[in-house]
Structure 1
């Protein structure tokens, strides 16, 4: 079962027959939580059906794998184990040793990525082109290791999984009114197999596989992990039997493949053990990573529901030393997108982009909720007396913004998007830059500025990219790695 032999036979899948895994995929590491000076980890494996992987071995002993989920021709397995959180460590699997930069107590580096794919044809892209930035990230880890890898949404582009089934082929434009239970069960099977295929393909890519086995991941989801615009589509779509089946399968797949868990077994970092929302927080040494769920409770009129807001308000009451990283899958600070929404009312051909703009905090539909979140972040910073950094993806551009929180504090918004999604036209970046010059201050006493990246003159950069976050002697900084121009100068946070 060598890691070096893993691959997927997709020739049958494209002919309409379920694909087959011919060698194990994994291990892929996930951080379950930090507790008692240890990293609590899960290692994920995908194998041919009933082909159980060997155990994980550490200095503390062996850790057996357990079955997590079964599919027509594959099984997903998990081994939970622990490594010390105050020094570099390693584990062994199948004759190979994997070094893990576990130390969260002193100087450390984190990587942030988002938008790992494209809406159309992503499964057919040439691997070295698609994963070029993953290869760069791997080289960066080899140069100076990352302790954690943060994934800010759209880890998988599932938009095409609905194709090939009678109930969902024309989703969301046309949906059947009253499908039978048997038809919905068949749809669930179809969607589950298609999600498996996508996740397995992504995790088998050598550029990601090498990193995923050595750097624990923390993931939150966004719309493409379900379907384009989930929650911003009309209620007649999302609450239809087909829509609810799609969401249920996407959520189940998210838990299995992005969290290495299932319902009833959520790691302790999740705020709601019942999983009504999937927000979580990790508290490390002088570091809090806070990731609200902006999809599970989303509707056209709200971004977060009661569970999500309860989590955020509870976190605002915690006194936290050090620094807070807030993962907002869609940017918390941005330009006046409400002007574009107003244009859509009078330009019919632009109305197809309505759900894309309604996805944003800046949408007119979410104005009250946006203000509520910004006040909460401001109060959180003032309670703890430290700056807060928000990291986001979603827009397929690199940019940053600053919000003055008063009392010498500020909210830095860093957007890195995407690691695999190709950049939009440079004209779009220039247009957004011009829109940003109009300013958008939802809290009049806390002005927002959209700023250029270090070493750049424009506010938005149209390049594939990822973000590096570093703490040295207690001081945080950030750098973007841009596909065309490389690493930016460091930005002090």
Structure 2
């Protein structure tokens, strides 16, 4: 009989329908709440994304997963509450939790220790701590969405089980070494990252929206045109990037789409109809890597009066020497179309912070200009070295895209695209520390307050040297130095100012919760710790009303 390999993951939950994702060990019919779907096959793996329909707004539905008519979820004597689909009700207050950057490791010492106490230490997993809290709460207190903002896996730092699997099938003394290198290994790392019983229950009960960053593929993925050219020369690169894109499409991207969007997705229709969709996805992945134009990873979800617009800031980059942009023109037009007023709150989800420390912001804009020849061709290589060593590939290093995004936010906030929202909030991760910055666009017609909320990591750490550099970016001297360099490279003044709303950055494993009720908004950051009994716990770092 078929068995569950991974899942169920509750991916989408609207007012009247939902989607539930599973991986199984054999072809079968998957059933959730009376809705049935045959699995599709990809190179020996079997998947289904079941559309659960005819639900009532504001409803709570405990569910089971049946494979060929036999119950396989929940597992017997799991000790966890039932998995629940909770649909969104009109006028209901919205709760969104978000974070990024999670390395999978055991939830016990030495891995729960800090890296200062043990070199193997990663601290307490904030996602795990959240799940432990939620299992004790009522269904009505569950978040409506878990927004994962990149680095859901670390392909170049595989978990122990994944690493053992990799070593069992190839010589890791040969390139690419002890990293995830093809589709089979990507399927394994997702399995090992999401099968912990506590994490598995959380993902079965809280709807999730995800977007990738570089570590889903490789450290510094798509940082520059030069980097991409170097990687394409490596004999193992094609297999790695094909595996990365194909697995991302299956394990993360498909569940981001609403049932209506899935019906219109030509690739999904073909994949479900294929005897083995491996060749289809291989061709798609290869072509996507070679030419990102026409492939849109960005998506949106509406929750009553709130729109969450998730923007790709990694996979769709245009990396030409004289033209760099976060996404191609077609995807930007789509973002423009869907970033509108008429909502109580507009949330931009992007793995990379739009607003860094002002000093770091100006430094990245300067570096992009240097790499494009602002100080002469002879210094371009020097600039590229700085770019890679310091990971200078955030929004400000795609300055044309940054300027366009700020202007889009200005127009929404000024009421040029419908009634101004009560708040516009950018949700981001990546930088392995957290903060909240308030921004003021230089346009007296702008009514909507703008915030940058960064929550990172869920479980990881930032080397001390880089943490000091990030902190310096928020100092007055750091800002002045960065601005001076930017001016020397021909970068003009930005059309907004921004500052932290608190005193210090948070270099902790953390998770954030955004509560939206009508036109009110409140944001809470919490760090993951151990309580006196040694159990994972969340402790408040900061809280602020945003609207």
Shared fold, TM over 0.5: yes
1:78 aligns with 49
Counterparts of 1:357 and 1:108 in 2: how far apart (Å)? 34
Q: CA RMSD in A?
A: 3.8
Match of 1:196 in 2: 187
Q: Could you tell me which residue of structure 2 aligns to residue 48 of structure 1?
A: 25
Q: Distance in 2 between matches of 1:360 and 1:491?
A: 26
User: How far is 1:446 from its partner?
Assistant: 1.9
Give the alignment partner of residue 528 of structure 2, picking from 467, 476, 483: 483
Aligned match of 1:401 = 437
Within the candidate set 73, 81, 84, 1:99 is matched to: 84
Structure 2: which 5+ residue stretches go unaligned?
Answer: 66-70, 75-81, 113-121, 268-293, 372-378, 484-491, 530-537
What is the match of residue 9 of structure 2?
Answer: 28
Report the secondary structure of 1:46's partner residue: strand
Q: Report the alpha carbon displacement of residue 423 of structure 1 after superposing the two structures with TM.
A: 4.4
Q: Secondary structure at the match of 1:154?
A: coil
Which stretch has the larger CA shift, 122-131 or 416-425?
122-131
Deviation, 1:285, is 0.5
Change (3 A) 1:99 1:229: same
* Runs of 4+ deviating beyond 6 Å: 161-168, 269-275, 343-350
Residues of 1 paired with 2:29 and 2:7: CA distance? 9
C-alpha deviation, 1:391, in angstroms: 0.3
TM-score for the superposition, normalised by structure 1: 0.77
Q: How far off is 1:307 after superposition?
A: 2.4
Q: Is the 8 A contact 1:298 1:305 kept in 2?
A: yes
**Partner residue of 2:280?**
none
CA change 1:350–1:124 in 2 (3 A) is farther
| Whole-Å separation in 2 of the counterparts to 1:286 and 1:349 | 44
**Residue-by-residue CA offset, 1:365-418 (whole Å, 9 max, x unaligned):** x22221111111221222231220100000111112121134343210000011
- 1:247/1:307 Cα in 2 relative to 1: closer, same or farther (>3 Å)? farther
Helix, strand or coil for the counterpart of 2:205? coil
Q: Are 2:107 and 1:135 aligned?
A: no
TM-score calculated relative to the size of structure 2? 0.70
Q: 1:104 to 1:330 in 2, by over 3 A?
A: farther
Over 3 Å counting, the alpha-carbon distance change for 1:26 and 1:152 in structure 2 is: same
State the shift of 1:476 in Å: 1.2
Q: For residues 307 and 296 of structure 1, do their structure 2 counterparts lie closer, same or farther at Cα, with a shift above 3 Å needed?
A: farther
CA 1:473 to 1:66, structure 2 compared with 1: closer, same or farther past 3 Å?
same
- The equivalent residue for 1:256 is 250
- Return closer, same or farther for 1:146/1:193 CA change in 2, 3 Å cut-off: same
Q: CA deviation at 1:199?
A: 0.4
Tell me which residue corresponds to 2:98.
Answer: 112
Shift of 1:272: 8.3
Q: How does 1:282-293 map to 2 (within 5 A)?
A: 282-293=301-312
